[in-house]
Structure 1
Amino acid sequence: MSSKYVQVYNTLKKQIESGEYAIGEEFPSEAVLQEQFQVSRDTVRKALGMLENQGYIQKARGKVAVVVERGAYNFPFAEILSFKELNAHLNRRTETEVENLEILSDQELIMKIFEDDEEKEIYDLLRVRKIEGERVIVDHDYFKRSVVPNLPLRACRDSVYAYLEDEKGLRIGFATKEIVVEDATEEDRRYLDMKRYDLVVVVRSYTYTKENVLFQYTESRHRPDCFRFVEVAQRKKL
C-alpha cells in the first residue's frame, strides 16, 4: 500500500485534472487539507510538494497555493501506454497524424534495429502527435512482421496497442527505455513546431511480448518545453 502522502497527492491530482479546481483558483490551505484527509501537517506538505514539483500548483511563502496551467506534460515512462491511453492521463486535446506507413525489407536496417537475421520485413510507422493544436511529438515505430503481420491504417490513427491486444490477442510484456537530449534534426524541424528550440528530448524504447520476444522499436522525439518526467523515488539502502 502506498504512503499516506502519496494517496493524498493522487486524490488531489485527480481533482485538479478533472477540473474540480480551476486554473488560477486558490488551493485549500494546509489546515483545511489536514481536516479533510485526517492526516498530519507533514503529510499534507509532502503531498503539496509533489503537486508543485509536477507543475499542478504554485506556492509562495506565507500564501495559499494556486492551481496553475501546466506548460509541460508529464509522461509516466515507468508504464507502457499507448498515446490514446496517455491522452486520458494528460487530460488535453490531442490528435495523431500518420505521416508514413510502409513495409521495409532492408536487411541492414533490420539487423541494426533488431539484431535478428531471420526477420525479413518490418513495418515503418511515422506519426506526429498534436497536443492543444501544436505538433510537439514525433513517434517513429518499427514492428517485426513476424509478430505483427498486419498493421491497418485505422489502428495507427487510433491505437496500435489496442489493435494488437484486443483484436489480435498479442500479450505485451515489458519495455526498456532510454531518455536523452539531442540536437534537433531536419526531420524534427519538418514535423514539429520547434519555435525557438534547438534541442529535443528523445525516448528510445524496445518493447517485448510476454514471451520475451522483441517486436517493436520506438524513437519518440519531444519538444523540450512540452516534456516532463517525474517519478516518486524511495530510498533503498544498499
Structure 2
Amino acid sequence: MSKFNEIFLDLEAAILNQRFISGDLLPSENELVKTYNVSRETIRKALNLLLEKGYIQKIQGKGSIVLDIKRFDFPVSGLTSYKELQDAQNMNSQTIVVSNGLLPVSEELANHLKLSVGTPVLYLERLRKVHGEVVIIDKDYLVTSIVPSIPNEAAEDSLYHYIEQTLGLSIGYAQKEITVDPITEEDKRLMDLQEDTHVVVVRSDVYLEDTTLFQHTESRHRLDRFRFVDFARRRNSL
C-alpha cells in the first residue's frame, strides 16, 4: 500500500472515531509532514482522498476542516440539483434509476401539474446511495409536452443539466413544502432505514423562467443524514 493511502486511512479512522469532530481543523500540512515523516506531496495526496470521500473541506487561509459525515446540508430556499449538491459537498454518492417511463397521473398529482386525471406524464424514480446506503428516494413527474423523455444516463447524472443544456430550457423557481411523514412500505423496501419510523419529505412544484409549471417532485430523505438549511435576514418593521 502506498504511503499516502496509509496516511489517508489513519486520518479517516481518526475522523470516524471522533478524534476529530465536525468543525475541527486537521493539523496543518507542515505538522502532518513532521508527524508522518513524509513529503508535502504525499500529505496532499492523502488530504485529497479525504476531500474526495467527503470527510473534509479545504478552506483558503484556514486549512482542512472536518465535515459532519453523518449529515449533508440541503438548502431550503435554493433550487439546486442533487448533482450540484453532491459535487459541492464531496458526497460519496451513487444514483440508481428505478423507473423511467410514462405514468397516468392521479387526481392529486393532476391538481399539482394542472393536468386532466389520467394524462400521461414522464415518471422518474431514483435512489440516492450515500456511503453505500440508500438514504433518498427521488420521484419526478414531468409534463411530456415540455420534457418528453430523459435518457437513463442523464437521469443518473443530472436531470436539470439535461433540461437546461440539452433541451435548452431555463428553470426559474419552485414552490416547496417540507413535512415529516410516516414511512411507507416502499420506503421500507427501497431505503436503508434502520429503526426509523418517519422520513423528511420535500415536495416541489417547479417552473420554467416563463412561469410554466413543468415538474412535480417528491424527495424522501432519511432523518439522520441531512439537515435543511436557509439564510434569513430580519426585515425592519418600520
**Under a length normalisation based on structure 2, what TM-score does the superposition of the two structures give?**
0.70
- Tell me: CA distance 1:116–1:69, structure 2 relative to 1, closer, same or farther (3 Å): closer
The match for 1:115 is 114
Aligned residues: 183
Contact 1:105 1:120 in 2 (8 A): yes
Q: 2:72 aligns to what SS in structure 1?
A: coil
Q: Quote the residue 2:59 is aligned against.
A: none
What is the CA–CA distance in structure 2 between the aligned matches of 1:68 and 1:79, rounded to whole Å?
21
Structure 1 match to 2:6: none
Distance 2:90 2:191 in 1: 21
Query: Which stretch has the larger CA shift, 212-221 or 75-84?
Result: 75-84
What do residues 85-109 of structure 1 show as CA deviations (whole Å, max 9, x unaligned)? 1101221210000111111234646
| Residue 143 (structure 1) aligned with residue 142 (structure 2) | yes
Q: Equivalent residue for 2:128?
A: 129
The CA deviation string for residues 190-219 of structure 1, in whole angstroms up to 9 with x for no partner, is 111000110100000110001100000000
Q: Which position in structure 2 is the counterpart of 1:174?
A: 173
Q: Deviations over 1:1-56 (max 9, x none)?
A: xxxxxxxxxxxxxxxxxx9xx9418549xxxxxxxxxxxxxxxxxxxxxxxxxxx9
Tell me the residue number matched to 2:162. 163
Q: Which residue of 2 aligns with 1:234?
A: 233
Identity of aligned residues (%): 40
> Does structure 2 conserve the Cα–Cα contact (< 8 Å) formed by 1:130 and 1:137?
yes
Aligned partners of 2:103, 2:223: CA distance in 1, in Å? 31
Aligned letter for 1:79? Answer: G
Structure 1 gaps, min length 5: 1-18, 29-55, 57-65
Provide the residue aligned with 1:190 in structure 2.
189
- What is the CA distance between 1:117 and its match in structure 2? 3.1
Under a length normalisation based on structure 1, what TM-score does the superposition of the two structures give?
Answer: 0.70
Residue 157 of structure 1 aligns to a residue in which SS? helix
Contact 1:176/1:205 (8 A) holds in 2: yes
- Indicate the larger mover: 110-119 or 94-103: 110-119
Q: Give deviations 1:112-158, integer Å, cap 9, x for gaps.
A: 33122399421111100011111000001100001112222111111
Residues 1-238 of structure 1 correspond to what in structure 2 (within 5 A)? 23=15, 24=20, 27=25, 67=66, 69-106=68-105, 108=107, 111-117=110-116, 120-238=119-237
Q: Distance in 1 between matches of 2:225 and 2:150?
A: 29
Question: Are residues 81 and 223 of structure 1, via their aligned partners in 2, closer, same or farther at CA, if it must alter by over 3 Å?
Answer: same
Structure showing the higher strand proportion among its residues: 2
Q: 1:150 to 1:134 in 2, by over 3 A?
A: same
**Counterparts in 2 of 1:209 and 1:99: CA distance versus 1, 3 Å:** same
Q: Which residue of 1 aligns with 2:41?
A: none
Unpaired runs of 5+ residues, structure 2, are: 1-10, 27-55, 57-64
Partners in 2 of 1:92 and 1:110 — Cα distance? Answer: 31
Going from structure 1 to structure 2, the CA distance change for 1:180 and 1:236 (only over 3 Å counts) comes to same
Q: 1:201, 1:227 within 8 Å by CA — same for their partners in 2? A: no
RMSD across aligned positions (CA): 2.6
Deviation at 1:78, TM superposition (A): 1.9
